[in-house]
Amino acid sequence: MINSAKVFEKNDWELIIESPGRINLLGEHIDYNDGYVLPTAIDMKTQFKLKKNGSDRACRVYSKNFDTQLIFELDKVKPSQKQWENYILGVVHEIKKMTSELRGFDCEVVSDIPIGSGVSSSAALECGLAYGLNKLFDLHLDRIDIVKLSQRAEHNFVGTKCGIMDQFASVMSKENNLIFLDCLSLSFEYIPITLKPYKLLLLNTNVTHQLASGEYNKRRQQCEEGMHYIKKFYPSTRSFREVTPEVLMELKPHFPEVIYKRCFFVVQEIIRVLKTVEALKVML
């Protein structure tokens, strides 16, 4: 067992950052299809304690959850066999591509976000580290930079071809508001939400999933295949937001059954998000 007190003998942290997980009210499997989503942050967080360690290259990250330490040098960042390490390494790799100001640091990480439960523990890890390093070294990255580099880290080092929603929600959420996010343009609007006397109950089923090796990338590939079929008949179509249910019904005979179902869900889900936003605005 690794004792964090021995890893970092002086806990003189310069910065403490908390990065939240997220839920999504509507818009599942829509962000990577350039549609609209309605996420917001939850009260479960990943905490980062950070400090400069005085070196140019040496970095140490201790995970209290895994009770293990990651040690690496900034000029030798490469993917690891351990998945949790790739979230850290991927973020550092992407930051290095944007600035030369990053230096050696120590970091202690602890999280109460359930891993693999669909509330974006990975995005909280990526965005929290990126946000913390940005503050610690005054890197002048804006919040959208942090969102995008965190997504790239998950694509390039973890292997999950995620959309932008998780990272966007972790960085940009606002209390008592949903984010109505256009995943194509990244324009967004805060939608106030008052649930009283009702509550949303978030349950952890303890069923975990591995997005990179599971169904997520497969489903994304199926959606891309569906768009390929659509463009055969409607070449000017740029995304599913331009596809109507009527067009899908017309093209149904040309689709494999599973691909049609994926496309039908995406088109209907985009419509549901837009109708929900209209309804929420009426309630204001």
Tell me which residues are annotated as active site: 166
Residue 20 φ/ψ, nearest 5 degrees: -85, 155
Q: Which of 46, 43, 40, 13 is nearest to 135 (CA)?
A: 13
Q: What would the two tokens of residue 190 be? A: 């805060």
Q: How many CA atoms lie within 13 A of 129 on its CB side?
A: 34
Secondary element (H or E) of residue 46: strand 39-52
- Say whether 221 sits in a helix, a strand or coil: helix
Whose structure tokens read 């089923």? 205
Q: In whole angstroms, give the CA distance from residue 55 to residue 31.
A: 39
Q: What is the dihedral of CA 186, 124, 217, 68, to 10 degrees?
A: 150
**CA distances, 236 to each of 13, 30, 115, 230 (Å):** 54, 20, 40, 10
Query: Which ranges of 173-213 would DSSP assign to H, the alpha helix?
Result: none
Q: Which of 46, 176, 195 is nearest to 113 (CA)?
A: 46
Cβ distance 80 to 89 under 8 Å? Answer: yes
What is the total residue count of the chain? 284
Whose structure tokens read 């974006």? 120
